[in-house]
Every structure is written in structure tokens, then in C-alpha cells.
Amino acid sequence: MARLLKQINFPSDLRKFKKADLKQISEELREELIEVVSETGGHLGAGLGVIELTVALHYVFNTPKDKLVWDVSHQCYPHKIITGRKNRIRTLRQGGGLSGFTKRTESEYDPFGAAHSSTSISSTLGMAVAKKLSNNNNSVVAVIGDGAMSAGMAYEAMNNAGALKSNLIVILNDNDMSIARPVGAMSNYLAKLLSGKLYFSLRETVKMVISAFSKRFSQKAGKAEDLLRNIVTGGTLFSELGFYYVGPIDGHNVENLVQVFENVKNSNHKGPVLIHIRTQKGKGYEPAESSGDKYHGVSKFNVSTGEQSKSKSSNPSYTKVFAETLIKHAQQDTKIIGITGAMPSGTGLNLFEKKFPDRTFDVGIAEQHAVTFAAGLATEGYKPYAAIYSTFLQRAYDQIVHDVALQSLPVRFAIDRAGLVGADGPTHAGSFDITFLATLPNFIVMAASDEAELVRMINTSVSINDRPSAFRYPRGNGTGAQLPNIDEILEIGKARVIKEGKKVAILNFGARLEECNKASQKLSNKGIECTIVDARFAKPLDEKLIIEIATNHEVLITIEEGSIGGFGSHVMQLLSDRGVFDTGLKFRSMILPDIFIDQDTPQNMYQIAGLDHLSIINKVEETLNSKIILAKNKNKFSN
């Protein structure tokens, strides 16, 4: 049998085939996806579940003129293969390669960049309104998974779309949780019928006829129609939000999908439409189908066996250290609660849940709710731990400020994936949490330099009962440090001196300590002895120690895996307020640069960021050799 996928480089090529060929094309696309991800790693299960959907959408809609937006977009690899990127698909998630998510700068077929959840309906609504204002009749389509429907933003957008009566098509990809149960062939038949021109026209005709009769009859007739449709389709919620509901239908029957999409596209219906499809995550690859997470995110794997390549490190991950330490505390303290936003395995709370199912809460993709939910628990004397990736915590900033910090409630934030994260790229990097948390009154902000320090910070957070606290830690495995017991706590705001030297002091905050030590060793070989300090706290600062080392050294350099406005800025403010700069101190702050760094290996990303040990050495030498220039003429800088 001839390989059809070889003939498809763009959707325009796909549209040249007959509908009868689409099943074979789907099968070939599924095989290609499995081969690709086995070599690159990445998100597999979600992409396998939308193969037929991807083919049908690009077959019916005139992309890129018709806009297609994938929510989260971790399911977009098949989309990339047939939208001009097939020859580069094996560069996924690599330095200089394709992003693992949709990206506007990568292709005109990616009209909106996504990697966070629940943005598709809002963004496509904006596109739909823009097209209406421009008298453009092209279609706008959003594809959103049922998991993303747990976020309030999706309903805010749907409510607005229904009120505006915008011409928008939303496809609800229902794979993990059943919103409404499909009823086989009859359901598919009714979906095609309900999406056709005839039904749309008949529905409007019936409305006009009954409007000529009494209001009472009209109301009864309208209720009868709604009741009948909702018994058949289960679309009550979406209808109430102003959407015309179609479904549920089989998302793996490509010809049925094409028929429904053509009917909706060619109908005269005005207003938003929701098409509910049912799919199977991991569809067509047995190891994925039988896996608990349907191979959501995988490393490189053997296609025949499904066996994934394992980490070479024998050290436990920071995530696992967090989970196991919290479990030990929870065994002694019944007030400890674990909260996650749809990331139980990613944050380690799946381990916590096995021990304490009644004290573990997965609130779905709803970080705003998670934070205020934790605040409510804290008011009743409980000790909630909100375990959330740094990049996802950004969505809940107002709740952190208003519901937690303002009331000084002892919510504990376990901030996973702090710093640069490698293949997931800038959308998942933990770049801003130091800045946006350390600026808040009443907060304690910590960063672990290794897994032993992480344990101490968890221990410390358990005892903080009068204000919120946060501790951040990176993705990946620890350094091999010996873990302390759970009784070992830190003095709040107290740093530790790792090594004493002369002239140069390096003040580290977070997981760059190992690179600081490497730099120090090589500088020592050059006759430059450095003092190394692990700050531990960005707030409160160890003011006494910082002023002491600033006064007794010619050069002071701060290092952190965060953006401008974070730890280094707080140190600079302290030194400025205390007049330390008047002594001629040479101060430098090493932070993440003011750019979004594309996906690569973590090592390469930190080199690009200038936070590796060679960059530290260069910064020390450059600063030592710099001269302090003071203006002799007080009017020198005046206009």
C-alpha cells in the first residue's frame, strides 16, 4: 500500500485526497508520531488521542486562513507534522529545534502560542470578534480538553462568547473524564443530523412559528425542544452559556468528524457552537493505552516494548524528596494538607495521597482556587501545602496577594520547577516567583541549594504559623547530599557561610551553589580566594551577615535563578539604604537575562543565561578589574 503521508507537507496537500483515504492517512500519522516521540521524548498520549481530529480539522477548514487554536497544545505534534514541519519534527524540544507547543514565530499555522491551560476559548473569541469587525468570514476553531475545562477562565470566555453571539467553534475533546456518555451509532447519527443545515433551518422556522402563538405556548414549546435535545445530547450546561451544542460523537471516526465539521462550517447558524467529541488518550499504542497516565509525558522509549529510558542519576529527584519529607511530617501532624492543581505526579503529591487520601486535594487546573482554598484551610488552623509549579503559580498571583499575604495566613507554597527546565522551554521555566513573592509583605521566601536544604526548609515551614512561606526547588535530581532528619529546622532569615576567602564574596540564592563552588575552585587556582555564602532566604534577608561581607570584601556578587527584581535587587536595596556603596564596594547581580530562553538542555540554557560556573568566573574577574568612576564635576551629568 502506498504511503499517503509522504505526499502531505501542508494541509492543502491533505485536501486533495478523498474522504475514503483519511483513515489510512490517520493510521500513518499515528505511526509517525510514535516513531518521532520515541526518539525525542515529549508528550505522546494527548497527540495519539487527536490524530483523527487533527486530520479532519485540516481537511475541512481552510487553515491557516481559518484559525485553529490548540489549548495547552501538548497535543500539537500531529498538527505540526502536516503543517510544513514534517522534515524538522525530530528536532522537537531540542536546542534550535521545534517547540513542544504551538508557537506563533514558528509557523503561520500556529495563530496563538500556548503551553498553559484554558486559554483557547478566550483567544479565539478575540480572533472571532476581530474578524467580525474586519468583515472577514473565515472560521475560528478552538480545541480544548476536558481537563482544561476545570479552569474558570474557560467558562468566563464561554459566558462572554454566548453573550456576544460570536461565530466561534469550540471542540471539546473529552478523553479522561466523561462529561456525557456517548450512545454509539445513534449518537453519531444524531450529531450529524443536529449539525446539518436542515436542522438549523428547521429550528429557526419552528421558533418563528411558535412566536406567533401565545407566550405560554411559546415557552412550553421552547422547553420541550431544549429538553429533547438535552436528553439526546447532554448539552445543558453549554446551551445555558449560549452555545449551540453538538455531540457527543466518536472522535476516532474520521469520516464522521469530517461530516459534522462540514455541516457546522456550512450552516447558516449565527453564534458559538460547541462540538463534543469523545477520544481515548494514547489511542492506537498499547503501552500508552494501558498506562495510568496514558503516556502523557515520556522520555525516549523502545517502540516495540514501550520501555522508557531511565535517568542515569541514582540521586532522588527534588520532587520525591519533597513528597517523602512531607509524608513524614504528616504522620506526626494531622493538620498537614496537600493541595495540587491537576499535577499529582508532577508535584509528588500522588505519593502523599497514597498515605493520606483524605488530606490530599487535587482541585484541577484551577490554581486561583487552589490558593484561596488553602487560605480557607489556614483560617481553621490547618497547615496547607500548595504544591504548584512556579510557572503555573503565576496564574494565582492576585489570590496570593489578596487572600494570603494581606491576611498573613500561613499557607505553605512548595514551588517545583524553579529556574530553567530544559526541553519544555520558556513557557514552563520558573523565572519570576522570587520577584513576585519577595516583594510581598508578610512573606518568607526560601530557595534550596540542594536536597538536604530542601528538607530543612520543609521542616522550617511546618513551624511557621503566623505568615505565609514559600520554598523553591528545581526540576531533576539532587546532588547526592545526605538528608537530615525532620527535626532539623532553620533560623528564619539566617544564611550560612560555605567557604571564607578574601576580596570576593559570592552570595548564592538557590540551586546555583554547585556552580559557585566550581567557580571558586578554579578561581582559587588563579590565586583568587572567594567567600561563598548560601543565602537560603530572599525574605527576610540575613542583613547582619550581608552587610558584614559587603564591608569586608572588595567585590560582592549575588547569584539567583530568577528575573530582575528578585534576591539581588533586595540585597542592593539593603546595601543602598545602609550606605555600604559609599565605601566603594563593587557590586554585581547575576540573574536570568531579560529574554525568554528557548528549549535546550538545562546545561546549555544556563550557559546562555550566563549562570554557569564559567560565567561566574568571568564576572568575578571582570568586576575585580573594573574601576570605580566618580564624577568630579557635580554638573557632569546635567543637561
- Which residues are tagged catalytic? 281, 367, 395
The x, y and z cell numbers of residue 608, run together, are: 546562555
| Rg of the chain taking only CA atoms, in angstroms | 28
Taking each helix axis as running N to C, give the angle between helix 184-195 and helix 215-233, from 0 to 180 degrees, rounded to the nearest 10. Answer: 140
**CA nearest neighbour of 529 among 509, 559, 554:** 554
> What is the Cα–Cα distance from 629 to 611, expressed in whole angstroms?
27
How many separate helices (H) and strands (E) can be counted in the chain?
A: 26, 19
* Residue 410 CB-density burial (10 A; 0-12 exposed, 13-18 middle, 19+ buried): buried
| Separation in Å, CA 397 to CA 371, 440, 475 | 9, 11, 22
Neighbours of 136 (CB within 10 A): 12
Cis peptide leading into residue 441 (ω within 30°) = no
The separation between CA 406 and the C-alpha centre of its own chain, rounded to angstroms, equals 26
First to last CA, the chain: 78
- Return the bridge partners of 589, or none: 558
Sheet bearing 67-70, strands edge to edge: 67-70, 140-145, 169-174, 273-278, 244-250
Sign of dihedral through CA atoms 374, 375, 378, 383? positive
Q: What is the per-residue DSSP string for 181-218?
A: ---HHHHHHHHHHHHSHHHHHHHHHHHHHHHTS-HHHH
The phi, psi pair for 196, rounded to 5°, reads: -80, 165
The x, y and z cell numbers of residue 599, run together, are: 528549549
Query: Which helix (DSSP H) or strand (DSSP E) does residue 241 occupy?
Result: none
C-beta of residue 169 within 8 angstroms of C-beta of residue 60: no
Residue 85, classed as helix, strand or coil, is helix
C-beta of residue 250 within 8 angstroms of C-beta of residue 277: yes
C-beta of residue 428 within 8 angstroms of C-beta of residue 597: no
Amino acid at 132: K
C-beta of residue 74 within 8 angstroms of C-beta of residue 92: no
> What is the Cα–Cα distance from 278 to 276, expressed in whole angstroms?
7
- CA torsion 43-44-49-51 (nearest 10°) is 100
Tracing cell 505526499 back to the chain, one arrives at: 7
Sign of dihedral through CA atoms 181, 286, 365, 42? negative
83 DSSP 8-state letter: I
